[in-house]
Amino acid sequence: LPLFISLPLIMNFISLVGTITLFLGATLALAQTDIKRSLAYSTMSQLGYMMLALGIGSYQAALFHLITHAYSKALLFLGSGSIIHSMEPLVGYSPDKSQNMVLMGGLRKYVPITRTTFLWGTLSLCGIPPLACFWSKDEILSNSWLYSPFFGIIASFTAGLTAFYMFRIYLLTFDGDLRVHLKNYSNTKEGSLYSISLWGKSLPKGINRDFVLSTTKSQVSFFSQNIPKISVNTRNRMRFFSSPLGVKNTFVYPHETGNTMLFPLLILLLFTLFIGFIGIHFDNGVMDNGISELTILSKWLTPSINSFQESSSINSYEFLTNAISSVSLAIFGLFIAYIFYGSAYSFFQNLHFKNFPIKGNPKKNFFGQVKKTIYSWSYNRGYIDIFYTRIFILGIRRLAELMHFFDK
């Protein structure tokens, strides 16, 4: 640590890497349909926050966010596993389907415990007080603004994006009505269009499996206008599915997992609710190194050097100002997510201003082009996989073919 502190260029480089990571991870999570992939990119973004905190010298905030994020994200990943387990009786043991949020919706009625724990984990990661991640993320945002307005702007904007895509995950999964019956995604093998392997990889027959590029023409829209509304009669009746044992005319619906998974969810929920208190400043006293005496986390870091040494007592007004700013960004992200991904029968879904910017020809509309670009970037994972496939995989194959030609 002293070596890095004596080299400001290295610290700036670490901060820049963290800033790029947190922003890239957030943009890649915006339009994913796989629930586990969305959470994975969210983890990437939160690791960027930790790296940013290390780069600006806020080591206590970095470790604090590592701890709070660990419990919140463990709660979310375990909750996603419970969701996937509840979807498998409907779609079969297929990750492409059981993890697809487009086929979910309305699960709050079937998995209430999972839904409650997942909601608290989502709000924690969004930075809603007094949950765990609020305290650590707010500290990182405050220190990033003190270090550089450039880092502060990107970190704050990404905090709003985090609230947007995390609440999007929650709404697509638990809000509205179950959408799996809108397509024939049951675990029957009557259709001949798809070839399903043991691990659920399903591709239309005839497609080259060696090189498949994602397209957005037939995928779910970035916003929710294209999600078909379900009639009242459809919502009020239960659809028949085939059971995993092949017995037809059997009611199959999502269900809660066993106690072996629900009990850890509740334990992680308790940590998500209360682990943030280890980093809260309970008084105005400071030690020689500028760390609060009664911060539990600071006792673990007493030998460490913190670049943000406090010269005076903690300013409650400054804390409230920073907290209001970060919470406002989170609430704004939640609000935008609810407008676009809330239930099709909610109040905001029928507002005229929602569809007003995209009227007319989308090709000539700036907003439509921006929306399409953002969605394509996020859904195709920043084109990183495509770039890797074309440059490295196909490049190495052609190089091997060339060497094989000369080796004849």
The total number of structural domains in the chain stands at 2
Answer yes or no: do 340 and 372 share one domain: no
Integer Cα distance of 337 and 223 in angstroms: 9
Integer Cα distance of 290 and 153 in angstroms: 26
Structure tokens at 408: 């004849």
Identify whether the C-beta of residue 312 lies closer than 8 Å to the C-beta of residue 285: no
Answer yes or no: do 330 and 402 share one domain: no
Query: CA nearest 305: which of 288, 322, 321, 284?
Result: 288
Answer yes or no: do 247 and 394 share one domain: no
Phi, psi of 66 (to 5 degrees): -60, -40
Structure tokens at 72: 């919140």
Kindly state whether residue 302 falls inside one of the protein's structural domains: no
Report the first-to-last Cα separation within the chain, whole angstroms: 56
Kindly state whether residue 223 falls inside one of the protein's structural domains: yes
Kindly state whether residue 275 falls inside one of the protein's structural domains: yes
Answer yes or no: do 178 and 323 share one domain: yes
Which string of b and e fits 88-100 if b means at least 16 CB within 10 Å? bbbbbebbbbbbb
Answer yes or no: do 257 and 398 share one domain: no
Q: Is the model's pLDDT at 42 over the cut of 90?
A: yes
Answer yes or no: do 115 and 78 share one domain: yes
Answer yes or no: do 225 and 123 share one domain: yes
Kindly state whether residue 11 falls inside one of the protein's structural domains: yes
Q: Is the model's pLDDT at 268 over the cut of 90?
A: yes
Q: Is the model's pLDDT at 233 over the cut of 60?
A: no
Percent of the chain with pLDDT over 70: 67
Number of Cβ within a 10 Å radius of residue 327: 18
Query: CA nearest 186: which of 106, 251, 234?
Result: 251
pLDDT of residue 404: 82
Answer yes or no: do 332 and 382 share one domain: no
Kindly state whether residue 229 falls inside one of the protein's structural domains: yes
Answer yes or no: do 121 and 17 share one domain: yes
Report helix, strand or coil for 242.
Answer: coil
Kindly state whether residue 48 falls inside one of the protein's structural domains: yes
Task: Give the pLDDT confidence of 93-128 residue by residue, as tens digits.
Answer: 888 888 888 888 888 888 899 999 999 999 999 999
Angle between helices 132-147 and 316-341 (to 10 degrees): 110
Answer yes or no: do 321 and 407 share one domain: no
Task: Give the pLDDT confidence of 169-212 residue by residue, as tens digits.
Answer: 999 999 888 887 776 544 434 333 333 333 333 444 443 333 33
Answer yes or no: do 57 and 132 share one domain: yes
Answer yes or no: do 6 and 125 share one domain: yes
- Least confident range from 234-248, 252-266, 304-318: namely 234-248
pLDDT of residue 298: 63
pLDDT of residue 300: 60
pLDDT of residue 76: 95
Query: Which domain covers residue 217, as residue numbers?
Result: 2-280+315-350
Mean pLDDT of the chain: 75
Kindly state whether residue 299 falls inside one of the protein's structural domains: no
Overall average pLDDT of the 271-285 stretch = 74
Kindly state whether residue 287 falls inside one of the protein's structural domains: no
Task: Give the pLDDT confidence of 48-61 residue by residue, as tens digits.
Answer: 999 999 999 888 88
